[in-house]
Structure 1
Amino acid sequence: MRSLEEKAVRLLGGVVETETLRLYLRLLVVDGCPAEEAADFFGGADEVEKLIRAGMAQVRKPAAGLPARLMPVPMDVVLQHTLAGLARQALADYERLLGGYQRMCAFASSAGAEPDTSVGQLARLITDSDEVSRLTSTLLGSVQREWLTLSTHAPTEPMDGAGITATPSPAGRGARCRAIYDDDLLAETAARDKLEAIAETGTEVRILPRIRMSLGLADEGIALLPLTSSETAGVLLVQSSVIVGALWEYFELLWERAIPFGGGGSNGQGLPEIQIKILRLLVQGLSDEAIAQRVNLSLTTVRRHIKALRENLGSETRFQLGVIAVQHGLVD
């Protein structure tokens, strides 16, 4: 349990308010508590409300005769929610700073003085597409150790693994490049081809369902967050060590869960037709019971076929089985 607390502190420390994090850790350690006892557990209803407002706890409705429980939200979801709030605040702060700086320039100009054009910022919004391209090229060209990518959409051409037009991958200079993409991309032939091309450049590619944000991380020092999948919408450049560190921990947490793309497993030749049918239904997200009804087999027989598929394709989980099936063209 200590390792769970340590991971939460590494991931959320300095990003979440200290007092709120303390409350969250208490709830995380006990894996939730009865909702009616939560106020006593935390020493007041205000503390419970604080956790819920921060998106760090939620009340799970009663089920099967069990009472409602106050449950901790998964720490990666907490981080994503918190970072989204920080990004909005950074944008608001930037707009105020820019407005004030423009007024200072106007005042200095009217007074006949030349204003200092250098304003140091820990977070900077960049909306000019040409500047975004130059920044990305410079950033990728300066990576010495590692470049990390998290993306909800297929990369553009030429590919840098982050969906942003840029110079050749840092992998060519010996830097380690890792990228995680949303598994929805596997349903698109063109996107799948792009992921394979990225993997051929030396980038380690993994797949994960329901990715919530896109980002690029360079050498644990700089984060680049595209505002949307379109380059013209701009990016948020973050140089705050606290926020970049939290983003790095967030990526590592997702990397542990993600499934490698393009490696291992059988080519699937010679699979019985019934197993191909079961595989297609499984990839669609149907339960074992629903699959049994669709193929007119017993639940026991269907589970035996799924076990055989996992063994033949070298899969440890149902999700990985689906990824391998798509990679090898076993499903449409």
Structure 2
Amino acid sequence: MTTELASVGLGPFDEDVYRELLTCADATPSALAARLGQPESRVDRACGRLRALGLVVRMSGRRRRYTAVDPESALEALIRERAGELERVRGSALALASLFHAARRQEGAGSTIELLNGPEEQGRWFVRLQHQVREEMMVLDRPPYVLAAVNPVEPVRLDNGVRWRAIYAPEALEIPGAMDEIDELTRRGEQGRVLPGLPLKLAIADRRTALLPLSMELGHAQGLVIRESTLLDALIELFEVYWARATPLGSPADDEAPDHDRELVRLLAAGLTDNAIARQLGMSTRTMRRRTRRLFDQLEATNRFQAGIQAARRGWL
């Protein structure tokens, strides 16, 4: 028996009957039973359940005869229905969590600050925050990572209208594929910036709950969940200070764009390596270095620091 369609409500036997019916234009329960080597009554009941799910229709006539609905449209309808059910479950989970934390606060269980032990627990909380956020996510991003560097949840939340601001350490952009992922997130709506020397990681959901790792060492990592408090207010203010200091990361610039040199000097001043800048600008490292030398000549600079000063004087930064 097959179980690939269990997620949309099909039991193993019903799926076998459905797959058999897909191989022919139409069939009676007795014909399907003969093919499957099963009692006709059992197949007949399965056809009834498939019909209730909208996967098959009964044809006109006195004899019971069924034909399959186009799976692409029929299964898509079931998927949408299940997605709606899961969203309702998520809403119930949030409501239950509110009851849970309210009870802990009443009992004085110290839920304003919650200690997390180990990277796995922090990873689960980061995923939880992303699922809970409804309006705004604020993230300080730097290696090492508890979870994979690629974040599958963020694109979904961006598509749901969540405002997402992320400040990256330059070393986060050195991970293979990181710039491509950030470009895609930018196209979906993320506002990304880069800040050299970023000292910590942080995630704040809706300015109500924060996740703060206490160590950069994954082996014995501890972290804090911080709910509404003066400490959370301070972390929000810290994020805003870093945001004002960080350099914007836009989508890759067009080679012929008139502000191309300004984008280049912004990335140089942000501390990105040559390879990361080249990927951000959509060019080879060799071309990027050639443009950098030309830019230094234009600004009468011999290094990045001098170039940054000269660019600031010209109003480029």
| Shorter-normalised TM range | 0.3 to 0.5
TM-score by length of 1: 0.43
Q: TM-score if structure 2 supplies the norm length?
A: 0.45
